[in-house]
Amino acid sequence: MGKSHVFDARSQMPVPPADLFSWHAREGAFERLSPPWETAEVVERTGDGIRPGARVVVRIHLGPIPQRLVAEHTGYVEGVSFQDTQREGPFVKWVHDHRMLRAGSPDASVLEDAIQYELPVGTLGDTFGGGYARKRLERMFAYRHTLTRADLRRHAAFADQGPLTVAMGGASGLLGSALSAFLTTGGHRVKRLVRGRANAARGDIPWAPDKGTVDAAGLEGVDAVVHLSGSNVGEGRWTPERKEEIRKSRTDSTRLLCETLARASRKPRVLICASAVGFYGNRGDAEVTEASSSGDGFLADVTRQWEASTAAAEAAGIRVVHLRIGVVLDARGGALAKLALATQAGGGGPVASGKQWLSWVALEDVLGLIQLSLFTPSIRGPLNAVSPNAVRQGELAKVLGRVLHRPAVFPLPAAVVKTVFGEMGEETLLSSTHALPTVAQAHRFPFLFPDLEGALRFTLGRTTDGAEYRHG
């Protein structure tokens, strides 16, 4: 029989205990607290939130083997604490107490996560897996506490403006699913625009952009609309058919949505529509701001048309924000997931000369910029969603290698990029864009991750900073 272990993580939080508890009790908390480097998919939920008897079934991966984890909520004190217990999963025992404790100030609290666990394979598991388990727990709760603290601060900054009802297109994507959980844990309501079967009880809004249909009644009276839909530009060579798919997935859905909103009797206050720094094209070493002109190339052309597709909403008096998003860094997907995989396999390195500028942004800062746009009437038109510290591509490869403790010295020649990926590779891998977040900085937006290495360590789980730990 193995040894029962104790792990405790504590952090001060910037809100009273009752507010900290409410954040955890809302829809989306599980998704917000799931580390991006861990593969976890919610298969089923039953019961009432975090109250006793509620269960969540999750498919997790420990190495290449998927496992089923069933957690049941087994304790609950309103505003103070709740408990979940593993009923099925990789541990022999796992009991997790979430406690919201009083701090020295009435406007603060202490979050304590106390876990009792027992590793499988008895003494053998303790001998060979104990140190690994302790380090893994520290990495996980560093992420959870850092994110919880940041979310609470961000929501508190706009608490006096009340909760919003937000309709969202692209809610199932990497950015949309994170934004949905961020908003719901902040007390807002999200109505998802969904293709296929819609869940009316959740407030889903059915639509079929390819057929030109949307449930206009479902959009009536929403406070805001966030539209993030668009086919992935980095998947596959750009055949004429693929390029048309990329274009139509952006312009057609946006035009349909905006024309529908323009006819609404109760219009939203703001529409935030995804765009991209591809608007600027290949600009070499030149710095570009929101006031810069559009560039040349397929992506610049598509992005111009994409932004122009909001004309009906603007003409109807709706405030429109074009979120020109850079390369989003998050371990769950996108460019970083591919780069990290190659680097871990020992194949990381610069693309071509590595001197091309990369305008990157942490996913958490994109969420923050969307929140800023929702609540700031003076923001309209283009907004560059990029870090204030763009890097050259070779620097990204170097820093990623350092974070993952892997070499990053194997270059990918430009000729190979052009041969294998064609036009797509030239515009996404060889193009250089140094965008500045001028509008965000003018509004004193506090970037969580202005520094590349800090952003990578956070999303890849390569830091234990963020909480105080005790093992027993």
Reported as a single tens digit per residue, the pLDDT across 252-278 is: 999 999 999 999 999 999 999 999 999
Are 97 and 114 in contact by the 8 Å Cβ rule? The answer is yes
Residue 306 zone, left/alpha/beta (φ > 0; ψ -120 to 50; rest): alpha
> For 190-201, how does the pLDDT look when each residue is reduced to its tens digit (9 = 90+)?
999 999 877 878
Q: Which one of 93, 123, 157 terminates a domain?
A: 157
Helix axis angle for 363-375 and 174-185, nearest 10°, is: 60
Structural domains of the chain, count: 2
Domain of residue 354 covers 162-460
Residues 363, 442 within the same domain: yes
Each residue of 107-142: pLDDT tens digit?
A: 999 999 999 999 987 544 454 456 888 999 999 999
How remote is the C-alpha of 71 from its chain's centroid? Answer: 24
User: What is the residue type of 459?
Assistant: T
pLDDT of residue 200: 79
Task: Tell whether 132 and 169 lie within a shared domain.
Answer: no
Handedness of CA 97, 90, 28, 450 (dihedral sign): positive
Q: Is residue 467 in some structural domain?
A: no
Shared-domain flag, residues 264 and 382: yes
Strand 327-329 vs strand 360-362: parallel, antiparallel, or unpaired? parallel
Residue 465 forms part of a structural domain:
no
Contact predicate 242/387, CB 8 Å: no
In DSSP terms, which residues pair with 275 in a beta bridge? 324
**Residues 170 and 134 occupy one common structural domain:** no
Looking at the fold, whether 372 and 331 belong to one and the same domain comes out as yes
Tell me which residues of the chain have a pLDDT lower than 50: 123-125, 127-128
CATH number of the domain residue 27 falls in: 3.30.530.20
pLDDT in tens, 72-99: 999 999 999 999 999 999 999 999 999 9
Residue 365: helix, strand or coil by DSSP? helix
Element (H, E) at 23: helix 17-25
* 363 vs 349: CA distance, rounded Å: 23
